[in-house]
Structure 1
């Protein structure tokens, strides 16, 4: 059972990128990749984060782990706001937050042996001696289903699934509290994906890990997550328990995402149609509700006023003026 106290609390978090402009730096476009996110991650839970490519999921993850400096907002980690911390004062928190990257081929240095790859976090943190670090590497390899003999090999000698296991071993080497899984299975064969997900669940039980699991695979996130957040154009538009999100999706974007999941039965009738159009540019975000340009329920209110992320019952949050209304279920806005 998870502790209800949040390990991570994000409050009005922004990450903007300034693009182009003239020689004096004027008239530069601003790409609002993360644009006012409020989110809690409870200790011991797996929080899934889904959305289309370009919605800001990976930028949010990299900002949370401070690979990117946030533009504004608070990032509370175990009660401490790590957003304004310098690299020196941030150092004690680095070992408590680790990341598993999407591409196991790009995330491992091909010139380093597996032993050096996994031991590197221990060396940076100045933990142990060369001998104890090697023993720790052997232990971690066994824990992720690899052989201690693999420690002397190089990354290019392994399959994609084995490389991702090496990345996972490296991520848990320092016994972190939070592990951010940024689409950790999307580059793997389908036959390997379930093995890796099951291993992540076993490690969570054994080590008491907290996961932020980012993915575009709505079927997989349902399997692994306790709660699921839906992100669109830099903001969270819906957040609910695993069960609630799939049984009663309340934001039109969530309903459209679920409608896009392939069903192996052509006679099954969809309750809602897949969304239309493309996601707008984060440089030119629509006024009011960000989803209104693709939403079948959009009204003048949606263009004039951005809906807040509000509780529509039982901790189910949705950012839609019509969330929870009968109009949402019938497909006709009032």
Structure 2
């Protein structure tokens, strides 16, 4: 059996918040026992409401946040406790595309210097070779080769995101973590960036962890999709399976909230109501029960484990099998290229 490129085992990231003197500091459980496998060459989408822990998970995987406990196994090696000075090897193989390209690019550095910086840190190539590499990377992401003399503020939002992508692939990593890379872009530009990411994956053999709140886009780009709620994975399945047979009430509510052209169209499930609870005060039992229309007494008493309900479809709901059978699903999965 092939070993996953990335394995998370009972991964936790908790934050102690400030509090008045002599008062216990509250514990915010941003990531609360996540188990996840990511195979080489695949795209795993990660969706959920704002505040569910998606970005914290990404930053913990790349060790921008130190994990509280659990394991991060990359290519079979536990990197969760590797000292900071030894992380250069990991970060050469794992890169990140950030949500805000402007905030992640130094405005005082030229584009050529921005993209060449990872190569310099890793001591790859001579200055002439790095200049050629930068020109090739600009060409690969659809920008003119002479753009290296300009600065990030001279580009549009979509172009800046292309610069961020060029910088992320400069070291030819194995895994690229895409932290909502299209959320700040116009819809037409989103499609172009996603298509480019797919081309880069095919050409370079990249693996993506694709974090987004755009349920339509994640369906297009992902091989599998994980659904997060209050720091936990509550459902995980192939893209087609998740949209056809959602088995968790939270997933069903997310899918029901996708805008449709016909406002009179019938929806299989009503969108969820209420606000996501605070990760400082997580409900007992099933953490979705306070907003779930199907909640029963057992939901408050016992937390449902993430279990396989058939064919690798994982769900953390006491009634997952019944819900999967009743679900009418969505439209057939479309693997066509985004236009």
Return the TM-score normalized by structure 2: 0.94
Residue in 1 that maps onto 2:332: none
Q: Secondary structure at the match of 2:87?
A: helix
Of 296, 304, 328, 1:307 maps to 304
Structure 1 gaps of 5+ residues are: none
**Residues 71 and 327 (structure 1), Cα distance of their counterparts in 2 relative to 1, 3 Å cut:** closer
Q: Aligned with 2:81: secondary structure?
A: coil
Cα displacement string for residues 269-319 of structure 1 (whole angstroms, at most 9, x for unaligned residues): 111000010000000000000000000111110000000000000000000
Q: Offset at 1:327?
A: 9.1
State the Cα distance separating 1:326 from its structure 2 match. 5.8
Corresponding residue number in structure 2 for 1:31: 28
Tell me the residue number matched to 2:167.
170
Query: Alpha-carbon deviations, 1:29-56, whole Å to 9, x = none?
Result: 0110000000001100000000000000
Q: For 1:272, what is the secondary structure of its paired residue? A: coil
The answer to whether 1:223 aligns with 2:230 is: no
Is 2:270 the counterpart of 1:273?
A: yes
- State whether structure 2 residue 198 is matched by structure 1 residue 201: yes
1:120 has 2:120 as partner:
no
Indicate which of 10, 20, 26 corresponds to 2:8. Answer: 10
**What is the rounded CA distance, in whole Å, between the counterparts of 1:154 and 1:248 in structure 2?**
47
| RMSD of aligned alpha carbons | 1.4
TM-fit CA distance, 1:330: 8.1
| TM-aligned CA deviation for residue 4 of structure 1 | 4.6
CA drift of 1:154 comes to 0.3
Q: TM-score, normalised by structure 1?
A: 0.96
2:100 aligned with 1:93: no
Which deviates the most, 291-300 or 259-268? 259-268
Task: After superposition, give the CA deviation of every residue in 1:146-177 in whole Å (9 maximum; x if it has no partner).
Answer: 11110000001000111000000000000000
Measure the CA separation in 2 of the matches of 1:326 and 1:30. 33
Question: 2:63 is matched with which residue?
Answer: 66
The question of whether the paired residues in 1 share the 8 Å contact of 2:3 and 2:76 is answered with: no
User: What is the distance in 1 between the residues matched to 2:323 and 2:169?
Assistant: 46
Q: 1:327 to 1:193 in 2, by over 3 A?
A: closer
> Within the alignment, does 1:329 sit opposite 2:326 as a pair?
yes
Spell out, residue by residue over 1:74-103, the C-alpha distance to the aligned partner (whole angstroms, 9 max, x if none): 000000110011012222111000000001
Structure 1 CA distance for aligned equivalents of residues 208 and 242 of structure 2: 18
Q: Is the 8 A contact 1:322 1:328 kept in 2?
A: no
Match of 1:44 in 2: 41
Contact 1:4–1:43 (8 Å) recurs in 2:
no
C-alpha separation in 2, matches of 1:330 and 1:151: 52
